Structure 1
């Protein structure tokens, strides 16, 4: 897909969409963690935190979201992600 090959804000928006649909979580997580190594901004940290959350890596998601919140960006999406990550159980039990 053409959008997947693009970099920058559109790529982040598309990645967020995929995460919200719980699609390609592992691929988005890999890209988000790689990008946040060199592009340390609020939305990079938020995307990485949300990808970690969707991957079930709650403790790491909380640490990453704390980095995003340090910017004090007044964005409802960030607050929503932060609230969901903060309230998530650390251990998720599989149903039988």
Structure 2
């Protein structure tokens, strides 16, 4: 089971959250895109192995959206941060206590 750190409510069980999408992907003007480009925006993502910044919503708690780093291989959770704020660096070099190594 995962425990996800909501920036507003603190550490909570993963069942209280819904995954939104990859964080940092700008929303384009759908009227300015060809259908193929719009489909690419909707369905094609990087899907890397390793650390990825993601958007999550705490639907069973405060109902707010936030971003966090998650390792897509190990499901290790990194730092959470609010949207439209400075994104922390990839936690590939963060140890178990959250301190940079």
Structure with greater helix percent: 1
Q: Give the structure-2-normalised TM-score.
A: 0.26
| Rg comparison, structure with higher value | 2
Report which structure shows greater RCO (CA 8 Å, sep ≥6).
2
Q: Give the structure-1-normalised TM-score.
A: 0.27
